[in-house]
Amino acid sequence: MNRKTGTDSHARKLDLVNRKVREINERRRGMKLTSLEDDLDRQELRNYMRFLGVEPGNIRLESLEEERAPKNRIFYAILAIEALIEISVLYYITSLMLTPGASTNEWIMSGMLGLIFVYVAYRMFRDLRK
């Protein structure tokens, strides 16, 4: 085996490892990972590298923190508008429920608005936690 073939073989192995890293990163993208799943992915990569006979180098898996967008003024402005919508929906629900002699349609409408209220509140809570 000459020197060029050995270098080509090593480059081919590194290309295979990089392809495996891209595959694992693509699988992880958009998922919430637990520490156990993260450890299993890392173990899978280590075993693959050991199988190919490649030493671990500067290869790393993507973390979920890299994919998050930074929170800026637009994010908080949209959140404030959602809060105003929440307040108006809550006001309308209470006004419908407190009217004397409310009809069945008004009760159904206030129930549907209540579901919208809960959904938007959940989305706001989830967005703030990220």
- Across the range 30-35, mean pLDDT stands at 72
Q: Is the pLDDT of residue 64 over 70?
A: no
Rounded to two decimals, the pTM is: 0.43
Domain ranges of the chain: 4-52, 73-129
| pLDDT value, residue 69 | 56
Concatenating the DSSP letter of every residue in 63-116 gives PGGGGSPPP-HHHHHHHHHHHHHHHHHHHHHHHHHHSTT--HHHHHHHHHHHHH
| pLDDT value, residue 7 | 64
- Across the range 35-53, mean pLDDT stands at 79
Rounded CA Rg of the chain = 27
Q: Is the pLDDT of residue 1 over 60?
A: no
Do the beta carbons of residue 81 and residue 44 sit within 8 Å?
no
